[in-house]
């Protein structure tokens, strides 16, 4: 039995993601409610299905936290006052808040509060104030290096939470105004359209253009080249000058534990169930490996390589260590995943005695293909197609509009979607 000293916190945008987190080893999950979280442009949980989600988590010994961490205006607080008793009655374990008004409303309803990364908490004095306000946990600012986190941990008995994996924002602790300025969609109210992920050029009035030379790794000198000012001190994609790579700390579990952090948080409430399943599973294995005393085993290097390869199969913008050891300097184009997925069919039936599923195909499928089976209750399962049958006969290939049977090993359900994993030949995943 592994003693769980740190908590692994996974995101969930819907029931499929929630079940994926639970089944792949999350100790807790965080969800958004419609209109009150930092991911307003995706599917969110409603107050009507929140209690069901809480019960699913609690039945598996998993905690559930509700995000209420947007900027709150007067009309928002009026609605939140009517909503907070319903969150309390759902059995949710805590709310995540950044606004002091939301914190106060949660306190009045007897709900534990975790202070959001949006509050930009970066020192122990701030934590003393929050403790007096009965905050039980703080999510530290993303811009704090590990040595500073350790100093904060040495000067507080509050639970400290940090992001260990996922997308990073170009702005301090996510407090960005670019989307609001360009599109009138406020990132601070959860409506960010992510203009930072676009390709941009920076050109001065007199025609000098900023070019980031991705093939140069030298010093901080710059030079004039005709009418173009070339800054060679960064190694990066030339046009994605505002798009950071994703955070990935899977190979630094001991350093994170030693810093005093108690909760490892995975970013990704906009991500689908297969992303949640993969990332949660990898970090669960990494954390357990450390606590079993096997981190420095002779096979450790191979494990780290395997973990990075698995993380590289789902959506990512390339990997970086953020501010934990230095200022991040890498930028990235969009998806750097080594694998992409294509929907190829749907589950029609499941035969429990033989562990087989009947699937209806709308694209071809072959023995040897890697597939993802995904559904609200099933979560996300990745398997290799080892055999297929059509009308009771073994086949190697199936085509569109055929119903075939495949062995899946664990329970799936009618209407679960089938995706085929394909090599992403347009991108390369850089994990070093």
Pair 315, 335: CB distance under 8 Å: yes
E strand or H helix at 201, and its extent?
none
**Alpha-carbon distance values, 186 to 35, 38, 89, 97, 321 (Å):** 13, 10, 30, 17, 27
Pair 383, 421: CB distance under 8 Å: no
Q: How far is CA 92 from the centre of its chain?
A: 20
CA distance 362 to 129: 58
What is the per-residue pLDDT for 139? 97
pLDDT tens digit sequence for 334-387: 567 888 899 999 999 999 999 999 999 999 999 999 999 999 999 999 999 999
What is the per-residue pLDDT for 49? 92
Which class is domain 339-423?
mainly beta
What is the per-residue pLDDT for 289? 95
Burial 134-147 (b: 16+ CB within 10 A, else e): ebebbbbbbebebe
> Each residue's pLDDT tens digit in the chain (432 positions)?
555 689 999 999 999 999 999 999 999 999 998 766 555 555 678 889 999 999 999 999 999 999 988 888 898 899 999 999 999 999 999 999 999 999 999 999 999 999 999 899 999 999 999 999 999 999 999 999 999 999 999 999 999 999 999 987 776 666 666 766 666 766 565 666 666 667 777 777 777 776 654 443 434 434 433 433 344 344 444 566 666 788 999 999 999 999 999 999 999 998 999 999 999 999 999 999 999 999 988 888 899 999 999 999 998 988 999 889 876 655 555 567 888 899 999 999 999 999 999 999 999 999 999 999 999 999 999 999 999 999 999 999 999 999 999 999 899 999 999 999 998 875 543 333
CA distance 370 to 351: 21
The domain spans of the chain are: 7-172+245-320, 339-423
Question: Who contacts 82 (Cβ-Cβ below 8 Å, separation ≥6)?
Answer: none
Instruction: Identify the CA nearest to 13 among candidates 34, 47, 44.
Output: 44
Query: CA-CA-CA-CA torsion for 334, 339, 343, 344, nearest 10 degrees?
Result: 150
What is the per-residue pLDDT for 194? 67
Q: Which residues pair with 178 in a beta bridge?
A: none
What is the per-residue pLDDT for 208? 77
Pair 271, 11: CB distance under 8 Å: yes
Q: How far is CA 204 from the centre of its chain?
A: 36
CA distance 337 to 303: 19
Pair 69, 116: CB distance under 8 Å: yes
Strands, DSSP E only, in 35-79? 63-68
**Alpha-carbon distance values, 315 to 191, 249, 279 (Å):** 21, 16, 10
Which class is domain 7-172+245-320?
alpha beta
What is the per-residue pLDDT for 144? 93
pLDDT tens digit sequence for 11-41: 999 999 999 999 999 999 999 987 665 555 5
CA distance 235 to 237: 7
What is the per-residue pLDDT for 171? 67
Cα-based angle 138, 263, 121 (whole degrees, multiple of 5): 25
CA distance 98 to 70: 7
Joined together, the tokens standing for residue 223 give 């030079």
Q: State the DSSP string of 94-150.
A: EEEE-SHHHHHHHHHTT--EEE-GGG---SHHHHHHHHHTT--EEE--TT--HHHHH
pTM of the model: 0.81
CA distance 327 to 244: 11
Instruction: Identify the CA nearest to 365 among candidates 397, 333, 321.
Output: 397
What is the per-residue pLDDT for 226? 41
């Amino acid at each position: 039995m592994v003693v769980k000293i740190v908590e692994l916190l996974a995101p969930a945008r819907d029931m499929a993601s929630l079940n994926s987190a639970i089944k792949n080893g999350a100790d807790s999950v965080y969800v958004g409610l419609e209109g009150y979280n930092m991911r307003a442009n995706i599917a969110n949980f409603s107050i009507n299905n929140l209690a069901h989600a809480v019960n699913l988590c609690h039945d598996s010994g998993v905690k559930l936290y509700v995000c209420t961490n947007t900027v709150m205006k007067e009309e928002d607080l009026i609605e939140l006052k009517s909503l907070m008793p319903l969150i309390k009655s759902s059995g949710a374990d805590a709310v995540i808040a950044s606004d002091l008004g939301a914190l106060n409303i949660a306190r009045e309803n007897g709900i534990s509060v975790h202070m959001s990364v949006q509050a930009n908490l970066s020192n122990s004095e701030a934590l003393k104030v929050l403790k007096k306000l009965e905050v039980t946990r703080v999510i530290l600012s993303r811009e704090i290096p590990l040595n500073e986190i350790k100093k904060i941990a040495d000067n507080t008995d509050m639970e400290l939470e940090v992001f260990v994996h996922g997308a990073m924002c170009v702005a301090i602790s996510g407090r960005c105004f670019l989307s609001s300025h360009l599109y009138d969609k406020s990132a601070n109210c959860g409506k960010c359209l992510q203009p930072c992920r676009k390709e941009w050029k920076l050109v001065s009035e007199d025609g000098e253009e900023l070019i980031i030379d991705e093939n140069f790794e030298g010093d901080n000198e710059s030079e004039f080249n005709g009418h173009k000012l070339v800054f060679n001190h960064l190694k990066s994609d030339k046009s994605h000058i505002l798009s950071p790579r994703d955070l990935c700390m899977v190979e630094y579990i001991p350093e994170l534990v030693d810093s005093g952090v108690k909760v490892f948080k995975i970013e990704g409430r906009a991500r689908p169930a297969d992303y949640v399943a993969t990332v949660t599973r990898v970090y669960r294995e990494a954390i357990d490996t450390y606590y079993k005393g096997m981190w420095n085993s002779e096979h450790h290097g191979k494990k780290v390589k395997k973990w990075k390869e698995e993380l590289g199969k789902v959506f990512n913008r390339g990997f970086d260590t953020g501010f934990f050891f230095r200022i991040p300097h890498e930028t990235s184009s969009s998806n750097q995943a080594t694998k992409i997925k294509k929907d190829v069919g749907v589950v029609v039936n499941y035969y429990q005695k033989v562990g087989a599923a009947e699937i209806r195909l709308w694209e071809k499928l072959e023995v040897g293909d890697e597939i993802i089976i995904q559904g609200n209750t099933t979560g996300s399962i990745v398997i290799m197609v080892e055999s297929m049958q059509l009308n009771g006969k073994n086949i190697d290939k199936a085509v569109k509009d055929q119903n075939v049977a495949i062995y899946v090993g664990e329970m799936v359900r009618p209407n679960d979607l089938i995706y085929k994993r394909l090599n992403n030949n347009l991108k390369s995943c850089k994990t070093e």
